[in-house]
Amino acid sequence: MEREAAVPHVLIFPFPAQGHMNSMLKLAELLCPADMYITFLNSDHNHQRLLRFTDAEARFSHWPKFRFESITDGLPDDGHCSAESTFEMFNTLESITRPLFRDLVISLSHPQQEIPPLSCIIADGIIPFVIDVAEELNIPIISFRTISACSFWAYFCIPKLIAAGELPFQGDMDVPIKSVPGMEGFLRRRDLPSFCRAEELNDHVFQTVLSATQETTRASALILNSFEDLEGPILSEIRSRLPKLYAIGPLHAHSKTRLLEQSLLSSLSANSLWEVDRSCMKWLDSQPPKSVVYVSFGSLAVVGRETLLEFWYGLVRSGIPFLWVVRSDSVTGGNVNEEIPGELVEATTERGCLVGWAPQEEVLAHPAVGGFLTHSGWNSTLESIYTGVPMICWPYFADQQINSRFVSEVWRVGVDMKDTCDRGTVEKMVKEVMERREELMGSVDRLAKLARSCVSQGGSSRSNMDRLIKDIRSMARSSPKLHPKKK
């Protein structure tokens, strides 16, 4: 009985968005083979979509100590389709989800039918209330930020930016930023995370992100989906303030590598909240090697009809074959296919393929793909680096602005077209990346090799993951009984 009591029970709680949930499910895949109980807490909405569009339930059934739970995120079912709804979720999570989460943690903190009491919470660091609940209930908590180290560090340095008078700002977006240590030589106003563009410091979203990031210092440790050879200098800056840091990425490759080693990789299914259209893989099979530019702006970006057409004309005029993910809800105020000019329809029929959602990891690994026009989401950026595909970056919001700057100026594995989307720029940059592939491939191949190495035996991410597992086991052995603090 003593041995069983020392088996860890970890609650994993992602922010209710595709990219956050995906990377934290990858973490769960790494923890499950370590013989610990895992409760994965999804939002009701995302859990239903996950079960509908993936085989996640079947995949995780390989581990009898894993189970899904779900909880409301406070939004109506039809209110989850944009960045704006994501901002609204900050409010509903606090007002509606928080008390339900607290009740769940209390229930999990008592033994239940051979399941040991909760010993640790790994929660998305952008959910403001989780650390409060964990501290109140005396449960150890580890913060997981699903963004890049460079973006997290920029968020963390916001008080310094304010003190230096660099925030808020107006006017020239190319003014250099000096108060983010390690980035003084290349960071501009336009490269800061999009929340920093708020004209008033009391902006609600700005304050929420600022507060959540500063609260990270209250957690026992921080997990980042990154790797030492990619963001080593910035990871060192973060460790100066948060010494207990586990860089265990790229998580999509890390989990796949370990599952392959244990002969547990049973399918190619991703953790998608959208129905995947696999017809694009057959289309890619018919294209010459490295000839196609893959285009996807992720699960949240929404553009106006004019912006959509500018991208479309730019892609067509580049003359490059393209595979484009256009979600049904990605255009404001109308249907994606409504009144498309005939020349675009004809050109797309000749050398393009449009789908509602694609199996992105497989697409990027396909021999026909030679470039990636991306919103610079962190999962997409890591997947592109791992497969050695150069990027054309058009960041949409949040961390994506700073990711795109690192892609172009630090890692030199792509180009950055932030804040512009006219057809001429799109055409020029798609051509530039596809025609200059040989010039970019030195940096691209180097980072791809480092990414593969870090998740292999002896790699930094592998070692950091082993250290995380060891520390979670230690928490299980020393975890105190539940003693809620008096309010």
Q: Are residues 245 and 344 in the same domain?
A: no
Report H helices in 319-422. 342-351, 360-365, 378-387, 400-405
pTM attached to this predicted model: 0.95
Whether residue 253 is found in the same domain as residue 284: no
User: What is the distance between the alpha carbons of residues 417 and 420, in angstroms, rounded to a whole number?
Assistant: 6
Domain span including residue 353: 279-358+367-450
**Cα–Cα distance between 177 and 158 in angstroms, integer?**
11
pLDDT of 110 reads: 85
Write the pLDDT tens digit of every residue in 416-437. 999 999 999 999 999 999 998 8
Based on the domain organization, do 351 and 240 belong to the same domain? Answer: no
The overall average pLDDT reported for the chain is: 92
Write the CB contacts of 431 (distance below 8 Å, at least 6 apart in sequence): 318, 319, 320
Q: Are residues 284 and 250 in the same domain?
A: no
Q: Active-site residues: which are they? A: 20, 124
% of the chain at pLDDT higher than 90: 81
Residue 178 lies in a domain: no
- Give the type of residue at 262: Q
Are 312 and 345 contacting, i.e. CB atoms less than 8 angstroms apart? no
Determine the Cα–Cα distance for residues 270 and 29; give it in Å rounded to an integer: 12
The residue ranking higher by pLDDT, 443 or 4, is 443
22-26, 59-63, 258-262, 471-475, range with the lowest pLDDT: 258-262
Residue 249, in any domain of the structure: yes
- Rounding to the nearest 10 degrees, give the CA dihedral for residues 72, 196, 20, 273: 70
Looking at the domain assignment, is residue 98 inside a domain?
yes
**264 and 337, same domain (yes or no):** no
- Closest C-alpha to 83, from 325, 380, 327: 327
Q: Is the peptide bond before 8 cis (omega within 30 degrees of 0)?
A: no
Among 298, 266, 362, CA closest to 29: 266
Q: Does residue 37 share a domain with residue 71?
A: yes
296 with 439, same domain: the answer is: yes
End-to-end CA distance of the chain: 34
- CATH number (domain holding residue 285): 3.40.50.2000
Q: pLDDT value at position 25? A: 96
Q: Quickly state the pLDDT bin for 332 (edges 50, 70, 90).
A: confident
Mean pLDDT of the region 191-198: 94
Q: How many domains does the chain have?
A: 2
Q: Is beta strand 66-71 parallel, antiparallel or unpaired with respect to 120-124? A: unpaired
